[in-house]
Amino acid sequence: MDLPNIEAYLRPKDIENITEWSENWAWLAGGTWLFSEPQPHLVTLVDMQSLGWSKIEIEGDNLVIGATCPLIKLLEHSWLPEWTAIAGLKSAVSALAASLKVINMATVGGNICLALSVGTLAPVMVTLGANYEILNLKGELRQVGASSFQIGFKKTILQPGEVLRRVLIPLENLKWKVSYQRFSFGASDPAYSIVVSAYNPKKQKFRVAIGASVVAPILLEFDGDVNMQNINFIGDAASAAYRREITTVLIRRSLDIIEQ
């Protein structure tokens, strides 16, 4: 879709080349969502592709994924066989039921920062204990846990001018066995619930992130029965009670898979 209201298109080589920010500006990564519907409030797009943030690499004790890494790389990268948790990332990409054209363009950072309740990658990152590296226009960096990043529907902790720079996943956590479960009425329909489970052998606890049935991913850690009585489930096209029940079923199913 054309955005005829756009007045300026910026393609910086370095983020510090951007010296100001306005509420009418937007970061452009893959653009698969941005160009999918009218954006009448926007006047300037800042293209991130020229920043060169698409690498997948190992740095210290972390797997590092650049924010502009296209989703297709998560499927095609040569992962180490012992990194069993990568199956969760691949499932999250496949769950989009998107065309090859879309996953070639859509980015890891874009999927996370859009912060939809039905976002596919965020629950995996939360389960795996990922950290997000955030960069501002002054070149200053800060890190935040994935479980604290999204605070509501299309709401994150990003401040004006800040951008997600990298995703860092502890290498040790990539050895966890992960189960990605999703329920919707049709493969291409929005999910009513997403459950991503893993077992943390060091803490001897199960980790479960739930998404789609809540406005932002929620992390649960437990060593026995899980209690969801204090969780506020979405009640729109499907009732909150229905989403709670579906989520409970998916948790049981995912834990059964992990324990096999």
> pLDDT tens, 226-253?
778 889 999 988 899 999 999 999 999 9
What is the pLDDT at residue 98? 66
Cα–Cα distance, 119 to 111 (Å, whole number): 7
Residues 33 and 80 in one domain: no
The residue out of 172, 187, 218 marking a domain boundary is: 172
pLDDT for residue 186: 77
Quote the number of domains for the chain.
3
Domain boundary residue, one of 124, 151, 172: 172
Domain that holds residue 44: 8-50
Each residue of 124-134: pLDDT tens digit?
999 999 999 99
Query: Model confidence over 4-28: pLDDT tens digits?
Result: 899 999 999 999 999 999 999 999 9
Same domain for 57 and 40, yes or no, is no
Examine the domain organization and report whether 56 and 164 are in the same domain: yes
Which of 18, 34, 50 terminates a domain? The answer is 50
**pTM for this structure?**
0.94
Residue 3 lies inside a defined structural domain of this protein: no
DSSP symbols for the chain: ---TT--EEE--SSGGG-----TTEEEESS-TTGGGS--TT--EEEE-GGG----EEEETTEEEEETT-BHHHHHHS---TT-TTHHHHHHHHHTT---HHHHHH-BHHHHHHH--TT-SHHHHHHHTT-EEEEE-TTS-EEEEEHHHHEEETTEESPPTT-EEEEEEEEGGGGGS-EEEEEE-SSTTSPPSEEEEEEEETTTTEEEEEEESSSSS-EEEEESS----TT-----SSS-HHHHHHHHHHHHHHHHHHHH-
